[in-house]
Amino acid sequence: MKKTKKVRQEELKKTIEDSPFITDEELAKRFGVSIQTIRLDRMEMSIPELRERIKSVATQEWNETVKALPIEEVIGEVVDLELDERAISILDIKPEHVFSRNNIARGHHLFAQANSLAVAVINDELALTARSSIQFSRQVKLGERVVAKAAVKGEDERGQTIVQVQSFVENEEVFSGTFHMYRSNQ
C-alpha cells in the first residue's frame, strides 16, 4: 500500500535522522519512489543534501582538534573523530577517481583516504607514515561510497603508533591497511 506524502515525509525525516549519510538513491529504493520525489521531499522539509549533512557533522571543532594536518586535507569527508582512538571518513567515487576505460577506482585514491585518515587520528602536531601493509579485497567502481574506519591499536617495538584502517562499500570490505606512524615525540 502506497504511503501518503505526509507519512512518507515523516518516515523520511526519521530515517535521515537515524542514518544521516544515507543517499537519495538508497532512500528512493527504501520508500519505493523516484529520486526526484526524495529530493523534493527533502527540499520541502528543508533537509540538506547528503554532502551538506556530512559537512555539518564534520564541525568546526574538528578543524581545531585535528593536529597533524588540516581537516580539508583528509581525503574524503571525516564524519567521526576521536584523537588517538578512532576516525571515519566517507569517499564517494566520482569520474575523477576512476580509470576511464572501465570505471574502476584507482587504488591510490583508496590508499590516500586510508593513509590521510591514519594521519588525522594521531593526536600530535606531526604524524608521518613510516611504513604500511595494505591489501585490496575487491575493485571499487564509479558511484560507490567507500567508508574508511581507522582504529589506533597501540605502539610497535619502535614506539611508532599502529593504526588499522578498513574500508567498506556497504558492508563489504574493499581495503585494509596497517599503518605505522611516526610522531614528533619519537
- The structural domains of the chain, with segments of one domain joined by +, span 5-54, 58-183
**In this structure, are residues 140 and 104 in contact, taking their beta carbons and an 8 Å threshold?**
yes
Q: State the Cα–Cα distance between residues 43 and 95, nearest whole angstrom.
A: 27
Residue type, 158: R
Q: Is the pLDDT of residue 132 over 90?
A: yes
Q: What is the pLDDT of residues 3-59, one digit of tens each?
A: 889 999 999 999 988 887 788 999 999 999 999 999 999 999 888 887 777 666 554
Residue type, 170: E
Return the CATH class of domain 58-183: alpha beta
CATH code of the region 5-54: 1.10.10.10
**In this structure, are residues 160 and 108 in contact, taking their beta carbons and an 8 Å threshold?**
no
pTM of the model: 0.67
